[in-house]
Amino acid sequence: MIKAPIIPILALGALASGCVTEPAGLDPVVAAEARAVEFLQREVPAWSRDNGCFSCHNNGDAARALYAASRKGYRIPSGVLEDTTEWVAHPERWDLNKGDPGFSDKRLADVQFAASLTAAVEAGLVRDRQAMQVAASKVTQARAEDGSWPIDIANPAGSPATYGITLATYMAWDVLKRTPSLEASVALQRAEARLRSIKPESVPNAAVLLLFLADDRTTTTAERIKSSLDFLRHAQTSDGGWGPYANSPPEAFDTALPLLALAEFRPEAGVPEMIRRGREFLSAMQLPDGSWPATTRPSGGQSYAQQMSTTGWVTLALLATR
């Protein structure tokens, strides 16, 4: 297991703010994590304040990272997540969001806000379980007959902010499995069948398959787990990152997904070293403000939404692989 040095939370916050000199011997990846949390604390509440609506990127992926950070011991000021928590805790209002319809996908928003609500519940900031039932019902309505959530279908590798079919289906399944109901159970069964059919032919697919099978390690799934781990092992680049496909240039988002998956398989041979190299790659490509460059399809584009979601996914990966 990879262990990060234990340092006081306040020291981490000061380090992230640039208020102190980095202590000698502090793991640079720990410092990168702290800077990321500081960045997200500034940016997450800014969107709803400045735009009068809630977004999948700030109030979805990026907020999930802050909820996770609070569970890991970061002291997130109450005002940072207050608006997001109030929003996701009332799924009956999500259809009233004032975002630009030309740039909004209700199915994607429901999945992302439901995932953020799940993170808020896990962080102890939302205690109304009825909210989860309403959110699960909304998520279920976006399911296709084949058991998938057909979001951003033109993009097989997915992206940080828009997910793609495979990641969207996994994220929806992860919400529904926490909310027992007859409606959810039918959707769950079909989603599980769809997820079991995934072939580890891309980095996101291999990572999602591992995340899905993490709690289902049997003789039946052993070969699929092995093939996914082998795929990620061979697809990892010389500098420690991953691209969307084997032999693709590495990207931040495409590195975060494997790290989240590998965190569930630390005892497997070679996995700790893969995690170490992936973390170091992410630390090295962090921007001075604490964020990461947007992972876009095609690569090299500029997108605030993708940058916020990329930073959220990377922060989640660093927290999960401490």
Which tens digit of pLDDT belongs to each residue from 241-294? 999 999 999 999 999 999 999 999 999 999 999 999 999 999 999 999 999 999
Nearest Cα to Cα of residue 248 among 231, 265, 228: 231
Going from N- to C-terminal start, the domains of the chain cover 44-197, 199-285+307-314
What is the per-residue pLDDT across 186-221, written as a single tens digit (0 to 9) for each? 999 999 999 999 999 999 999 999 999 999 988 889
| Distance of alpha carbon 81 from alpha carbon 94, whole angstroms | 17
Type of residue at 262: L
Give the residue-averaged pLDDT of 75-104.
88
Q: Give the pLDDT of residue 66.
A: 98
**Residue 2, pLDDT above cutoff 90:** no
**Residue 82, pLDDT above cutoff 80:** yes
Q: Give the pLDDT of residue 100.
A: 54
Q: Give the pLDDT of residue 99.
A: 66
Q: Give the pLDDT of residue 183.
A: 83
Q: What pTM, to 2 d.p., does this model score?
A: 0.92
**Residue 7, pLDDT above cutoff 50:** no
Q: How many CB atoms lie within 10 A of CB 94?
A: 19
Q: Give the pLDDT of residue 92.
A: 96
- Percent of the chain surpassing pLDDT 70: 90
Buried b (16+ CB within 10 A) or exposed e, 129-165: eebbebbbbbbbebbeeebbbebbeeebbbbbbbbbb
What is the per-residue pLDDT across 101-118, written as a single tens digit (0 to 9) for each? 545 689 999 999 999 999
Average pLDDT, the chain: 91
What is the per-residue pLDDT across 127-162, written as a single tens digit (0 to 9) for each? 998 999 999 999 999 999 999 999 999 999 999 999
pLDDT grade for 50, boundaries at 50, 70 and 90: very high
User: CA torsion sign, 184 to 186 to 191 to 196?
Assistant: positive
What residues have CB less than 8 Å from 318, skipping those under 6 apart? 29, 32, 33, 36, 259, 279, 282
